[in-house]
């Protein structure tokens, strides 16, 4: 499994970036891309707009432990945590309740995803996550946004 995660880290280096300055630059780039998508899609749709497909595998991380390198298999928790995150974006909740429901997902998210989601929420978008299948396999978390009415 460690070899597979290392391969993913080479395939998706932005998702595993931890340097704050580089993450900030990546966030700016993603927000600009998302802004362009929303500028085009919002006037044409009354439904939430999909802005991103996050590979499920990026929730798996390597960590250095007392017995060498091991992995955190966050992909197993990603969907159940995403469902709590979605519930945290309900209109009838207080900000404190919403934050509490979002935390488990944000804690296991790669820094890039966490920063972008937090920015979108701060900008008053309703952010929801959904499952995206490739064939019969759950491969991505789709990120959709809409404005609060």
Return the domain boundaries, the chain.
Answer: 2-147
Q: Is residue 73 over pLDDT 80?
A: no
Nearest to 24 by CA among 112, 102, 142: 112
Q: What is the mean pLDDT of the chain?
A: 91
72 confidence band (pLDDT: 50, 70, 90): confident
Average pLDDT (115-120) is 96
| CA atoms of 93 and 73, how far apart (whole Å) | 30
List, as one string, the DSSP characters of 4-57. HHHHHHHH-HHHH---HHHHHHHHHHHHHHHHHHHHHHGGG-SSPEEEEEEEGG
Structure tokens given for 80: 């159940």
- What pLDDT shows up at residue 149? 61
Closest C-alpha to 22, from 115, 106, 123, 120: 115
Contact 90, 128 (CB under 8 A): no
Q: With bands split at pLDDT 50, 70 and 90, how would you rate the model's confidence at 131? A: very high
Tokens of 50: 């999909």
Model confidence at 145: pLDDT above 90: yes
Q: Write the pLDDT tens digit of every residue in 75-97.
A: 888 999 999 999 998 767 888 99
Reply yes or no on whether the pLDDT at 132 is more than 90: yes
Local confidence band at 66 (pLDDT 50, 70, 90 cut-offs):
confident
Q: What is the pLDDT of residue 89?
A: 82
SS3 content of the chain, % helix, strand, coil (to 5): 55, 25, 20
pTM of the entire structure? 0.90
4, 102, 111: which is closest to 54 by C-alpha? 111
What radius of gyration, in Å, describes the C-alpha atoms of the chain?
16
- pLDDT, tens digit (0-9, with 9 covering 90-100), for 11-29: 999 998 989 999 999 999 9
**What pLDDT, on the 0 to 100 scale, is given for residue 76?**
81
């Amino acid at each position: 499994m460690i070899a597979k995660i290392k391969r993913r880290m080479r395939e998706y280096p932005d998702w595993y970036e931890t340097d704050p300055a580089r993450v900030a630059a990546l966030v700016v780039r993603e927000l600009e891309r998302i802004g362009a998508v929303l500028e085009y899609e919002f006037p044409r749709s009354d439904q939430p707009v999909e802005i991103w497909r996050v590979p499920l595998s990026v929730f798996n991380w390597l960590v250095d432990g007392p017995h060498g390198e091991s992995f955190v298999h966050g992909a197993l928790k990603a969907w159940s945590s995403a469902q709590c995150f979605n519930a945290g974006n309900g209109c009838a909740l207080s900000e404190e309740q919403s934050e509490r429901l979002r935390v488990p997902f944000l804690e296991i998210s790669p820094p890039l995803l966490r920063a972008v989601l937090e920015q979108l929420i701060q900008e008053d978008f309703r952010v929801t996550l959904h499952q995206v299948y490739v064939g019969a396999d759950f491969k991505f978390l789709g990120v959709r946004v809409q404005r609060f009415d």
